[in-house]
Amino acid sequence: MKQPESVQKLINAFSRLPGVGQKTAQRYAYAVIAMDKEDALDFASAIEGVKEKIKFCSICGNFTEDDVCDICKTRDHSVICVVSDPRDILSLERVAGRTFVYHVLGGTLNPLEGKGPDDLNIKQLLKRLDGVKEVIIATNPDVEGEATAVYLARLLKPMGIKVTRIAQGISMGSEIEYADEVTLSRALESRTEI
Amino acid sequence: MKQPESVQKLINAFSRLPGVGQKTAQRYAYAVIAMDKEDALDFASAIEGVKEKIKFCSICGNFTEDDVCDICKTRDHSVICVVSDPRDILSLERVAGRTFVYHVLGGTLNPLEGKGPDDLNIKQLLKRLDGVKEVIIATNPDVEGEATAVYLARLLKPMGIKVTRIAQGISMGSEIEYADEVTLSRALESRTEI
């Protein structure tokens, strides 16, 4: 069945979201049609609002409505946690005790996709190292994330900065029997005394 | 971490969609932030467009941008397929050969939620029965859908209209071993000669 044009447009818009296929996009579009007009217009203006107001923090690259984000504004800058994406900050903030600030790289090194050091927000990181005691590298534990971590460590260590990497090992609640070999060997290598 | 207000608003808007929790809403919101400005504004205007343009077909209750939907405009009206929701029309259109028109009830009978016959689009159905040979009832095979089907059959049969119900049985590709008892007994009752 041909959908009315306006519905098809909305389905296309929804299917641009990550992990949303045609069927889910359709479901969302129909939900919008069924919404109160007010709710739907709020939705539209929320999208517009984000595009108008959100920019990148001039220090760390996180999303913010101001020139400098709330985290950079209020915290001590002697420990910097490097992440590849602003989304990672959300997860880390849930567990970290407001003891460090962040730096968003905006991706990871990925030669296959032609993404080199110049494509990441590394220059900005180098500019803010004055008085920094430790840089925690919290990129994902995959090939690109590891390569990025190694690259940064080689860059920062000669400057006398302590560079650390978040630990890799068996996740809580998982079973050794089903752990993949790389994870298990990392867990063994990084074993700690109890 | 406190999100910037505009981001939080967008997350709230996304979490009003069906099946979207806080985490998914956040993912979608971040995707919108990462979108080109143009794409995001297109998205917002697609939502507005739908709310401006989409109304209900004055004959069948399906979504349409006109007074009467494309299906009602172009097809023979002698067979009407009754559905509870416009979404069901999409699925049926994928398999049906443009041989019938639809009628959207806008729900099913549900005494527990206080939804009686007057809350469904039944009056409008009764008005369009002139010359109709068959009414196919394609409500869901759950308690409410069945009750609605029985109610409609009792209403329409005395008017001399053939009332049919979509068949219930074992789905293609499923296994008898895992079929629930109701489905399996329906499949047995409705067995056909081969």
- Among candidates A1, A35, A41 on the partner chain, residue whose Cβ is nearest the Cβ of B89: A1
- DSSP letter for each residue of A85-140: SHHHHHHHHHHS-S--EEEE-SS--BGGGTB-GGGTTHHHHHHT-TT--EEEE---
Q: What is the model's pLDDT at position A97?
A: 77
| Residue contact A65–B4, C-beta within 8 A | yes
- Cα-flanking dihedrals φ and ψ of residue B81, to 5°? -100, 120
Three-state secondary structure call for residue A73 = helix
Asked if A15 contacts A33 with a C-beta cutoff of 8 angstroms, the reply is no
The distance of Cα B132 from the centroid of its chain, to the nearest Å, equals 22
| Residue contact A7–B50, C-beta within 8 A | yes
| Whole-angstrom distance, CA of residue A59 vs CA of residue A68 | 7
In chain A, which residue's Cα lies nearest the Cα of B69?
A4
| Rounded (5°) CA angle A25-A30-A31 | 95
Q: What is the model's pLDDT at position B176?
A: 84
Pairing of strands A162-165, A134-137: parallel
Q: What is the model's pLDDT at position B8?
A: 93
Beta bridge partners of B136: B81, B164
Instruction: Domain ranges for chain B, please list them.
Output: 5-53, 56-193
Q: Which residues of A touch B8 (CB under 8 A)?
A: none
Q: What is the model's pLDDT at position A87?
A: 86
- Confidence check: pLDDT of B141 > 70: yes
In chain B, which residue's Cα lies nearest the Cα of A26?
B87
Asked if B87 contacts A30 with a C-beta cutoff of 8 angstroms, the reply is yes
Q: Give ipTM to 2 decimals.
A: 0.78
Q: Which residues, at least 6 apart from B64, have a Cβ–Cβ distance to it below 8 Å?
A: A4, B54, B55, B56, B57, B70
**Angle formed by the axes of helices A5-14 and A22-34, to 10°?**
120
Q: What is the model's pLDDT at position A63?
A: 92
Tell me the CATH class for B56-193: alpha beta
Tell me the CATH class for B5-53: mainly alpha
pLDDT tens digits, chain A, 194 residues: what are they?
578 899 999 999 999 999 999 999 999 999 999 899 999 999 999 999 999 999 999 999 999 999 999 999 999 999 999 999 988 998 888 887 788 999 999 999 998 888 999 999 999 999 999 999 999 999 998 899 999 999 999 999 999 999 999 988 888 888 888 888 888 888 888 888 88
Pairing of strands A79-83, A101-104: parallel
| Whole-angstrom distance, CA of residue A131 vs CA of residue B67 | 69
Q: Which residues of A touch B18 (CB under 8 A)?
A: 27-28, 31
Q: What is the model's pLDDT at position B97?
A: 78
Label residue B1 by pLDDT band (50, 70, 90): low
Write out pLDDT tens, residues B78-131.
999 999 998 899 888 888 778 899 999 999 999 888 899 999 999 999 999 999
Closest-CA distance of chain B to residue A8, Å: 9
| Whole-angstrom distance, CA of residue B15 vs CA of residue A37 | 17
From chain A residues 63-122, the ones with a CB under 8 A of any chain B CB are 63-65, 70-71, 86-87, 89-90, 93-94
- Cα-flanking dihedrals φ and ψ of residue A81, to 5°? -100, 120
Asked if A79 contacts A92 with a C-beta cutoff of 8 angstroms, the reply is no
Write out pLDDT tens, residues B34-63.
899 999 999 999 999 999 999 999 999 999
